[in-house]
């Protein structure tokens, strides 16, 4: 049996993506910080997911139960919030219920 605290970030992220997609949302997985295949990536610290549903946007930083938000991530979250964006840290699927 797997408990919520035992899930990896990628497993939590998959649950969130599946849930949001099933609700009809557009979900964009952000690849922050590095350059792959000569494509521009999101700036370092960008939350993991960007969700759009019914005219509303939500940035989601996915962390395990023990995971910590880095200083650069916190700086980006603050910057987005100051621009009028909603940002949450989700440690389980339960953290996004009611947010979108």
Tell me, what's the pLDDT at 33? 60
Q: Which residue has the tokens 């939350």?
A: 47
Neighbours of 73 (CB within 10 A): 20
Report the CATH number that the domain containing residue 8 is assigned in CATH. 3.40.1350.10
pLDDT digits (tens, 9 = 90+) for 26-83: 999 997 765 555 556 789 999 999 999 999 999 999 999 999 999 999 999 999 999 9
Q: Rounded to whole angstroms, how far apart are CA atoms 100 and 18? A: 13
Tell me, what's the pLDDT at 38? 54
Q: Is residue 100 part of a domain?
A: no
Q: Is 5 helix (H, G, I), strand (E, B) or coil?
A: helix
Q: Regarding predicted confidence, which is higher, 49 or 3?
A: 49
Q: Is residue 70 part of a domain?
A: yes
Report how many domains make up the chain: 1
Tell me, what's the pLDDT at 16? 97
Give the helix ranges, DSSP H, for the chain: 9-22, 71-82
């Amino acid at each position: 049996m797997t408990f919520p605290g035992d899930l990896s970030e990628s497993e939590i992220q998959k649950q969130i993506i599946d849930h949001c997609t099933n609700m009809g949302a557009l979900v964009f997985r952000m690849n922050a910080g590095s350059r792959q295949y000569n494509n521009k990536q999101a700036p370092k610290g960008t939350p993991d997911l960007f969700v759009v549903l019914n005219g509303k946007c939500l940035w989601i930083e996915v962390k395990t139960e023990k995971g910590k938000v880095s200083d650069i991530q916190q700086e980006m979250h603050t910057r987005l919030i100051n621009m009028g964006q909603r940002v949450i840290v989700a440690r389980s699927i339960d953290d996004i219920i009611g947010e979108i």
